[in-house]
Structure 1
Amino acid sequence: MDNDKTSDGGVKFYTLEDVRVHNMINDTWLIIHDKVYDISKFLEEHPGGEEVLLEQGGADATESFEDVGHSSDAREMLQQYYIGELHVVRKVHFPHVLSAKKKCDLGVTCSLIKNDISFSYFYFAVSFLHVLANLSHFFLMKNLPHTHTQKKSMIA
């Protein structure tokens, strides 16, 4: 369903979900550089054919638009189909996840999905194993007979 939210300047804002439903031949919207365009009336006039536009209908077509290398005239013509802006929901980032690559030890490259909590469990497990290894080393060194002291007693 279309979003009727407007800013103080009268600009309409649409969510990605609003745009997605407009992907048919008689109702085609595109997003290009976070601007929303209703190109329904332009489909038949498009020099590359309507199929190209229909493939991108209801989605962000920025990359495809730029890959083609549209002329300044085409960019200017696009403005007549402008209907609003894409409402971008701010993402919440967790610092421990954003800096996760910096936290990886032993040259291990961590491939993470942002905000994936599984890294926290991984990092905890690695830290726990590190502590366990140090404790084991400490107790082994304390309880093993010292070979260098035995050699000295043999020499004397």
Structure 2
Amino acid sequence: MPTLTKLYSMEETATHNKQDDCWIVIDGKVYDVSSYMDDHPGGDDVLLAVTGKDATDEFEDAGHSKDARELMEKYFIGELDESSVPEMPELKIYKKEQPTDSVQKLVDFTMQYWLVPVSIITISVAVRVLLSRKR
């Protein structure tokens, strides 16, 4: 007869967040690592920091060895009840309105940034021509 795996909610798992009572969730599995806290190579702070949330990303980012993965099975106590995990809100992307008259925008942009230098050059040329005629 197969053994039934106990299901734990994320809320219940999150309540076990102390040095002597620490549960973590990795890949949908719940582990009671309370007795492993002093032996964890990264220290107990690392484990305490991931209680109450899915620690899969942190676990994978740390690059755990095959031996570490096998050792985890010793602390396995059940599965995470996926229905207890709050859904991520849907990401909405809003597109910025495109200018309706792109030619006019281009003309305005050009005028704004080129009007002053062109004016200065034109005035300088006119002054030079006038001064050279006086001589």
Corresponding position of 1:110: 94
Runs of 4+ aligned residues of structure 1 deviating over 3 Å after TM superposition are: none
Between 1 and 2, higher relative CO (CA 8 Å, sep ≥ 6) is seen in 2
Look up the SS of the partner of 1:78 in the other structure: helix
* Alignment CA distance shift 1:89-1:43 (3 Å): same
- Give the superposition deviation at 1:58: 3.0
The percentage of aligned residue pairs carrying the same residue is: 44
Which of 1 and 2 has greater Rg?
Answer: 2
Corresponding position of 1:83: 77
Q: How does 1:1-156 map to 2 (within 5 A)?
A: 9-89=3-83, 109-110=93-94
What count of residue pairs does the alignment treat as equivalent?
A: 91
Alpha carbon RMSD of aligned pairs, Å? 2.6
TM-score under structure 1 normalisation? Answer: 0.53
Would the aligned equivalents of 2:29 and 2:80 in 1 still touch at CA under 8 Å? yes
Would the aligned equivalents of 1:32 and 1:65 in 2 still touch at CA under 8 Å? yes
Look up the SS of the partner of 2:78 in the other structure: strand
Q: In structure 2, what residue type is equivalent to 1:67?
A: D
Look up the SS of the partner of 2:82 in the other structure: coil
- Give the superposition deviation at 1:49: 0.9
Gaps of 5+ in 1: 1-7, 92-97, 102-108, 112-156
Gaps of 5+ in 2: 96-135
